[in-house]
Amino acid sequence: MTDFIVDPLVNFATDLIGAIGYAGIFVLMLLESACIPIPSEATMLFAGFKVDDGDLTLIGITLAGVAGNVVGSWAAYAAGYYGRLELLERHRVFHVNPKHLAWADDWFQRHGEATVFFSRMLPIIRTFISLPAGIARMPFWRFTIYTVAGCLPWVLLLGWIGVQVGDNWEAWKDKLHYFDYVVIAAVIGLIAYALIKRRRSGPGEREDPEREAGEAPRDIEPAPEG
C-alpha cells in the first residue's frame, strides 16, 4: 500500500531533479516542508547519486534542499499563524479547544526551539512541525533559525549517503522506510499513553464556564460598604 502511494512520488522527484537539477531539489524540498508528503529521503538520496554521477555538487544540493525546506516551512508556519482564529472560533470540523491552544502556546514558549530543531531531523514529523509552530505563534525568526539548524544536518546526511551508495540509492531509500515505521510507532505510543493517563486521572475539577469566559462568578457577594 505504501509503495502504491510513495513510488509515483519518488518517480516524480527523480524526474524533476533529472530535468532541472538544483531547482528541482528546491521545489521538492519546499513541497515536503509545506505539508505535502514528498519523501525527502528519495529526493536527497537521488540528488546524492547525481553528485556521484558528476552532474551536481554536495554543497549545491545541500543548499538547495535546506533553502527549499525553509521556504516551505514559512508557508506552513503562515498557514498556522493566520489560520489560528479560524481554528479557534469558526471552523466546525477542526475546531480547537482554547485550553488546548493555550497548552500549545505554553509548550512552544518553553520548548519551541528544541521541538523545531529535533523534529526537523525526524521523518514524517519534520513535514508537519511548522504548522503547530505557527498556530502557537512561535517568534518567526527564532522559528527560522532553528528550522535551518535542524534541516542542515538532515539534508546533508541524506545527500552524503546518496553520494556514498551511488546507484544503490533506491535500496537505501527502502531501508530508511523502516525508520519511518519506528517514528510512526513512537507517535502512536505517545498518543496512547496520553489518552490512558488522561482516563486514569479522571475528569478532574470542571472549570466554571463563567470563569472560562473571563467573568467573575455570580455567587460572590460584594463586600458591604462602610
8-state DSSP, 92: S
The pLDDT of 48-76, averaged and rounded, is 93
Residue 217 has pLDDT above 70, yes or no: no
Residue 46 has pLDDT above 80, yes or no: yes
Q: Is residue 209 part of a domain?
A: no
**Residue 188 grid coordinates:** 502512536
| Residue 13 · residue 46 · CB < 8 Å | yes
Residue 137 φ/ψ region, left for φ over 0, alpha for ψ in the -120 to 50 degree band, beta for the rest: left
Residue-wise pLDDT for 87-133, tens only, equals 555 544 444 556 656 666 777 778 888 889 988 888 778 888 888 88
Query: Which range has the worst mean pLDDT, 113-122, 185-194, 210-219?
Result: 210-219
What is the signed CA dihedral for 120, 58, 2, 122, rounded to 10 degrees?
-20
Cα-Cα-Cα-Cα dihedral sign, residues 57, 58, 63, 68: positive
CA 94 to chain centre: 18
| Residue 116 · residue 144 · CB < 8 Å | no
Count up the domains in the chain and report the number.
1
Q: Is residue 40 part of a domain?
A: yes
Q: Is residue 223 part of a domain?
A: no
Residue 58 is predicted with a pLDDT of: 95
Q: What is the rounded CA–CA span in Å between residue 43 and residue 158?
A: 9
Residue range of the domain that includes 125: 2-200
**Residue 67 grid coordinates:** 533553502
Q: Is residue 115 part of a domain?
A: yes
Residue 99 is predicted with a pLDDT of: 66
Higher confidence at residue 186 or residue 154?
154
Q: Is residue 76 part of a domain?
A: yes
| Residue 162 · residue 55 · CB < 8 Å | no
| Residue 134 · residue 76 · CB < 8 Å | yes
Q: Is residue 23 part of a domain?
A: yes
Q: Is residue 123 part of a domain?
A: yes
- pTM of the shown model: 0.70
Q: What is the rounded CA–CA span in Å between residue 52 and residue 49?
A: 5
Q: Is residue 205 part of a domain?
A: no
Single-letter code of the amino acid located at 44: M
With both helix axes pointing from N to C terminus, report the angle between 140-165 and 58-82 in degrees, rounded to the nearest 10.
140
**Residue 117 grid coordinates:** 530543531
Q: Quick one: which of 78, 73, 50 has its CA closest to 62?
A: 50
Cα-Cα-Cα-Cα dihedral sign, residues 188, 43, 163, 23: negative
